[in-house]
Structure 1
């Protein structure tokens, strides 16, 4: 009997230990070491929030923040930005540059593969870059390819695809010829718009990018699941040329468009990172857990100069001067942003080492008295006894709503103008804004590459990012000359002049420059948030 009791106690202890082990490992799976041996190792899963449904995972179409953070991790271009935000070898292991600085020859890695196992070739880049520029594609990023010889002509239907100077020298050698030497070229092509596309896959299925089952990428992660308007998941891509240095096993992206909900999910461990809700910003900053990093870009509003009453420059200036940017960042957003009184953000040095923003100064500041005078003058010029009704439109997000409401109040208090507010979902909003269907609308710009020309080029006549209907021949010429100017002193002078014209004409209202303010799980390391560019998860890890 004594022996039986001893055996029973031993059995119960073993059962209890097994139960404890099972509970501690709940939700994780044993990892295979690649040699067929199963090891007890917890799967490393990073939980992030994308905010909204991605616009598209088609590289030249997903030209926005809700698409390119993910795209940057399921695909890869010839170059990739490193932890110091500089372009380094990626799908291309090296390149040669001609003596005149205009022709680049990229040597693609022999082990560069697609996630379906296909070999990645130079032809995939030829196909993708010509598709970016093809007017039938309708890419808002096509302008980035205008520095390729023949690129602008093809995109504006003044030339053909054959005129675009990109070619496959052989299976693993890709050559591109530029219109002029571009100091920032290697940074530009790290942008998702220049990612390759598997020509065979895209030809067989033109909608290859729309579902996880059909998506084929070449990045450190592969798209494994996509529940539209809900969430999507990436897993480590074992076909990636540098897979041995990718530490995460999986990344799960939620789609939550409310900052307070996102924060609560972070607090409960459902997310590993979160934005900072404005209402809690002061206390969270005091606690010292908030991280703040630079980001090149701006939050602003666009006037539609083809729609009354904003065809009048004095009325536009009146509305712009009635906005108090300092009050918005201090009382509304509360995330330590810098108020914007120009369009090019801080952080870009000219040839003399001066910061562009500081050198060109404040081009438009709050001035209520002058705003009232300009409104009166503009109404007289247009023969208005009563200002036409004005509607301010923004895309649905709690933070956008708060800023819109602040502007509404400022227009009422400072100009005596009642402005209506309207909101709509992001995808519809973007389409309608491009079609000039709004009078006054919320907008934003995040730099595509690290140079001020990327900011000012947005407002060229007919540019896909203009979206104001504004046109100025002198401005257009200054931007064109700057793009072809190799002397840095002269180039910056041209850009300074162009930005001043932009604010003399006032087709926009600047609000604040962006920064990256966030909370992050202490067990997560290695995430790189580029000031110009995208979220980098290749080196991310989770303890």
Structure 2
């Protein structure tokens, strides 16, 4: 996931305009309640931003989530996130691990009925490898690839610079060469009449209103049982919940514990709490630098001191935040790997979390020479107070709640906070350019941690204007880079698990990203409209925000005589979360689409 050649800043203006429209209108697009009907698309509520649907540059959660329905990688993820067929159905590796060969069946077609060939794969990979502007989303995944070639229309051969553990065919969305070679790929919006390989493709996008997708009749697994998917934009999750209750939308995720609780017993609404793959963290600006090693942004210089950053870690009571803000619906954060990926979860031997300890944090700062003034705020030797800006998303109620707690705890250790809740797009733009002190962030991880680690290497620092690669923490460490390379090259899975934990432990002890919790995703859907949603993982998984497309792909309309009641449990069917409205409709169905970005993946 990355950025576009540029103008994230230009896109930011689009997001701001959309936010203003939604604020004025409340619900940007109102769609009437509908009875279950095969001709109706699944309507998904969304209240996060979209940066772009260009798979080379999309990094926000809504955007990348929708794109998982449109573009397959060479190798996909099965119902339990295991490697599974995608564009390729089989692949093999040479004994030395240097050469990977992927085989594309002749039944693979683009949504316009054009055959998918090895040339499409070569075009996609080489475009990323050779063009900085196309490396924002997945540039870190191709750094070890020396060459990609098509030996025949159905065979792709990748030659690596050195053996690696991650499958190089995963995570990179393949685009149709016959469409993209006629465009400037760095500027191509790819937000209407999209040609894709997945179960749904965008037909139209209306910024701040909706995104419409239609079912792909040429999808190799079979055409979906619903005509399409429509993402409907709401100004916040409260409005989305009201839309769910009234039947204006069919499914919503990203619910707060209070909203989730309010739906208990609601007629024809089923609640679902699944296993998450996302962490929520407090990010600290350690002194952002661009790819050329030059300072960027306007972070407070005091945060360059690891003592100050460690004291901040010590002033965050994660248990209280989990209990009071999430009502216990999650797990305390450790490293950036969620508990759902148990093989990579936790600290390496000899490393541990910094405990919440205000007395110890005060002593640490006092011993380092940061003395409290008459107002209780500590100052550096140069007389500058430890006052920092804390930024969060105005679409996330939890951010404002956490900020209240942090303000109190930080005051106790002599640190002042200036809290600002802004649009998701503003958070993304400012964090990319290093224009922050502290902010709430988060990412959704795939089954292999390699890409998450890659975003923290020195090579992932962006250009001065924010283009190029995507850096998670605007941080660079030779020690971490060495740890990243070690886990990347280790082919013994048991040994690699320990190396991955070591790399994440080094990142944690740099005190630039403090994982607060791993949230349990809270979803709800209209059980009188759709059923059959596919969970990932199959046992206790989620419907939306998956590593794949199973949630909405397997959904089907509920017959009029079998509509479910209000029992929590089953899964009627449909879609992904986004930042505006996205509608997936069958060929000939109406389509509306929306654009603009927000956190991970959503970066957040």
- TM-score range relative to shorter protein: 0.7 to 0.9
SS in 2 for 1:301: strand
1:467-478 matched pairs, under 5 angstroms: 467-478=472-483
Residue 338 (structure 1) shift: 0.7
Residue 72 (structure 1) shift: 0.9
1:363-442 matched pairs, under 5 angstroms: 363-380=353-370, 382-442=380-440
Report the structure, 1 or 2, having the larger helix content: 1
Instruction: Return closer, same or farther for 1:485/1:466 CA change in 2, 3 Å cut-off.
Output: same
Quote the residue 2:220 is aligned against: 241
Quote the residue 1:35 is aligned against: none
Residue 452 (structure 1) shift: 4.0
SS in 2 for 1:123: helix
1:131-146 matched pairs, under 5 angstroms: 131-146=127-142
Give the whole-Å Cα distance in 1 for the aligned partners of 2:525 and 2:49.
22
Quote the residue 2:234 is aligned against: 256
Give the whole-Å Cα distance in 1 for the aligned partners of 2:62 and 2:83.
22
Query: Equivalent of 2:534, from 521, 527, 541?
Result: 527
RMSD: 3.0
Residue 240 (structure 1) shift: 2.4
Decide whether the 8 Å contact of 1:148 with 1:176 is kept in 2. no
Residues paired across the two proteins, number? 484
Quote the residue 1:178 is aligned against: 160
SS in 1 for 2:407: helix
Write the deviation string for residues 263-306 of structure 1: whole angstroms up to 9, x where unpaired: 11111112222233333445557999532221223111211112
Q: Which runs of no fewer than 5 residues in structure 1 stay unpaired?
A: 1-25, 30-40, 151-164
Quote the residue 1:460 is aligned against: 457
Quote the residue 2:311 is aligned against: 318
Quote the residue 1:479 is aligned against: 484
Decide whether the 8 Å contact of 1:346 with 1:357 is kept in 2. no
Write the deviation string for residues 158-213 of structure 1: whole angstroms up to 9, x where unpaired: xxxxxxx111111222111234444441xx6442xx12222222222336852544
Instruction: Return closer, same or farther for 1:384/1:374 CA change in 2, 3 Å cut-off.
Output: farther
Give the whole-Å Cα distance in 2 for the aligned partners of 1:130 and 1:326.
46
Give the whole-Å Cα distance in 2 for the aligned partners of 1:474 and 1:290.
45
Decide whether the 8 Å contact of 1:329 with 1:335 is kept in 2. yes
Quote the residue 1:330 is aligned against: 323
Residue 138 (structure 1) shift: 4.3
* Larger deviation, residues 384-393 vs 355-364: 355-364
* Larger deviation, residues 422-431 vs 59-68: 422-431
Give the whole-Å Cα distance in 2 for the aligned partners of 1:504 and 1:222.
43
Quote the residue 1:273 is aligned against: 251
Instruction: Return closer, same or farther for 1:52/1:349 CA change in 2, 3 Å cut-off.
Output: closer
Decide whether the 8 Å contact of 2:145 with 2:159 is kept in 1. yes
SS in 1 for 2:501: helix
Quote the residue 2:466 is aligned against: none
Decide whether the 8 Å contact of 2:358 with 2:409 is kept in 1. no
Quote the residue 1:167 is aligned against: 149
SS in 2 for 1:421: strand
Residue 378 (structure 1) shift: 3.8
Give the whole-Å Cα distance in 1 for the aligned partners of 2:74 and 2:161.
19
Quote the residue 2:555 is aligned against: 540
Residue 140 (structure 1) shift: 2.5
Residue 500 (structure 1) shift: 3.0
Give the whole-Å Cα distance in 2 for the aligned partners of 1:362 and 1:283.
38
Instruction: Return closer, same or farther for 1:297/1:28 CA change in 2, 3 Å cut-off.
Output: closer
Instruction: Return closer, same or farther for 1:488/1:82 CA change in 2, 3 Å cut-off.
Output: closer
Residue 214 (structure 1) shift: 4.5
- Does 1:111 pair with 2:107? yes
Instruction: Return closer, same or farther for 1:384/1:519 CA change in 2, 3 Å cut-off.
Output: farther
Give the whole-Å Cα distance in 2 for the aligned partners of 1:533 and 1:361.
29
Give the whole-Å Cα distance in 1 for the aligned partners of 2:60 and 2:361.
33
Decide whether the 8 Å contact of 1:528 with 1:535 is kept in 2. no
Give the whole-Å Cα distance in 1 for the aligned partners of 2:500 and 2:478.
14
Decide whether the 8 Å contact of 1:347 with 1:356 is kept in 2. no
Residue 476 (structure 1) shift: 1.8
Instruction: Return closer, same or farther for 1:489/1:43 CA change in 2, 3 Å cut-off.
Output: closer
Quote the residue 1:493 is aligned against: 498
Give the whole-Å Cα distance in 1 for the aligned partners of 2:153 and 2:474.
44
Decide whether the 8 Å contact of 1:460 with 1:471 is kept in 2. yes
Instruction: Return closer, same or farther for 1:294/1:182 CA change in 2, 3 Å cut-off.
Output: farther
Instruction: Return closer, same or farther for 1:495/1:77 CA change in 2, 3 Å cut-off.
Output: closer
- Does 1:515 pair with 2:520? yes
Give the whole-Å Cα distance in 1 for the aligned partners of 2:226 and 2:38.
11
